[in-house]
Structure 1
Amino acid sequence: MLTPEQARDRAADIVARARAAGADAADAVFAADAALEVSVRLGALEDVGRSESEELGLRVFVGRRSASVSTSDLSGDAMDRAVERAVAMAREAPEDRWAGL
């Protein structure tokens, strides 16, 4: 899992990519969680499991239009695709006079 500093850097990076791709403004959120599960049956350990997940969400604004996407693939290529999708979606979205950061 990413450290808090790495997560902050990924969020800042995807916002910068969105601005470079034509978004007037953008914001990002990074969410991560880890879970541990232990099962005991008749007093004996039966199963142990662990899961982790990370997700990066991006909201972009093009004029008064906005769109949001998220990805759990944190590679550079995946972030580029997410930015491309979000900006394209925002350009097609209806205008909202209240849209903005």
Structure 2
Amino acid sequence: MRLVGLVIALWGMTGAAFAQSPAAALKNCLPPREMQEAVAAKGVVAPASAVMTARRQVPGADVVRASLCRNSNDLVYVISVLQKDGRIVQVMIEGSSGRVKSVR
């Protein structure tokens, strides 16, 4: 999927955050309007930036889901990517800084 199409798709996606680990139930993600507001208020990096960071962490994988979620008092992007071998890897990125928190 092209990056522009992915960014547009992100606005419509909801999903889940890691509670403590990727295995935790997915919940507490922002609906599209709140996600747009968080980005517009410059409280979090743009979704495209988070996706590009995730792609650098897992080269050659396809992004299948990207969500902005609450994790404790922080907002994090949870990016799920599909590797060529069929495994799903989740990359958690700090919303405020755009830094990688974990890759699992």
The reply to whether TM is greater than 0.5 is no
Higher gyration radius (CA): 1
> Which protein has the bigger helix share?
1
> Which protein has the bigger strand share?
1
